[in-house]
Amino acid sequence: MVQPGKKVRHVQWDPDDTSGFKGGEKEALKESAALDKTLDQLQEKLFAEHKHKVLIVLQAMDTGGKDGTIRRIFEGVDPSGVRVAHFREPSVDELDHDFLWRAHLQVPSKGELTIFNRSHYEGVLVERVHGIVPKEVWQARYREINDFERMLTEEDTMVLKFYLHISAEEQKRRLQARLDDPNKQWKFSVDDLAERKFWDEYMRAYEQALEETSTEWAPWYVVPSNRKWFRDLLVSSVIVKKLKGLNMKYPSLGRDPKSITIP
């Protein structure tokens, strides 16, 4: 977890690091399977209790594993209480509003768990790197994001933010794998190659975003993600731990079930 107010530098995290888990991939997959069952139960309580809201934010460079993380971790969860919101290039209507407008439209309702695949942070990442907005605009957005997320938490929304950290070398390998596999070529875009040229600029943008917006109410978690099995285990572990901390309970029937006769 990125400690609020601390300086952030990518060199302090190794994207290949798996030292947080003593076992290997085989053992991690077993533990992940157990976490899946726990997550399914916790999500059902979240939906049934209809009190809390959960927002999970996933940010990463291209090929960082956002789709894979969602697919792997939530494959066994009841889809009626889980929703994924994608944040691609803003529409004309979205550009006519403030940059947080489209994010606010997608935040979870009571009992719902919503995953942002990319997010409102594009406003201090892509728009900064490509000079879409001037410096004074994107600099002000850190404060606006913090205020937005504080408001969400004060309205019973748990905000969990994960930065899936991969290396430039790992991205190259994954892009090549897409090219080599006919079943994955549809995921390849020449735009990804153009974005690689801005790698260092993106790293600086991510570092400042993590520094400025990792708060007590909405902290950032940096996830070493070169190893997919470790990425999934780490993200699952944090989500399950935080959901358990809500101390959720199934709502009571309100009367003695023995007093009810089903005709």
Is 170 within 8 Å of 20 (Cβ atoms)? no
The burial class, CB within 10 Å (0-12 / 13-18 / 19+), for 253 is exposed
Least reliable range by pLDDT among 69-78, 138-147, 230-239: 69-78
The burial class, CB within 10 Å (0-12 / 13-18 / 19+), for 1 is exposed
Domain assignment of residue 197, yes or no: yes
Domain assignment of residue 103, yes or no: yes
* Domain that includes residue 183, residue range: 10-246
Question: What domain count does the chain have?
Answer: 1
pLDDT score of 98? 95
Domain assignment of residue 131, yes or no: yes
> How many C-beta atoms lie closer than 10 Å to residue 21's C-beta?
17
Domain assignment of residue 141, yes or no: yes
Domain assignment of residue 260, yes or no: no
Q: Is the pLDDT of residue 76 over 90?
A: no
- Phi first, then psi, for residue 27 (nearest 5°) are -70, -35
CATH number for 170: 3.40.50.300
- Phi first, then psi, for residue 64 (nearest 5°) are -65, -20
E strands, 166-212, are: none
Residue carrying the six token digits 């290396």: 167
Domain assignment of residue 5, yes or no: no
pLDDT (tens digit per residue) in 159-211: 999 999 999 999 999 999 999 999 999 988 888 888 999 999 999 999 999 99
Bridge partners for 221 per DSSP:
162
Domain assignment of residue 3, yes or no: no
Least reliable range by pLDDT among 55-59, 80-84, 122-126, 189-193: 189-193
Domain assignment of residue 229, yes or no: yes
Tokens of 42: 């916790």
Which H or E element spans position 27?
helix 25-49
Alpha-carbon gap, residue 92 to 124, rounded angstroms: 19
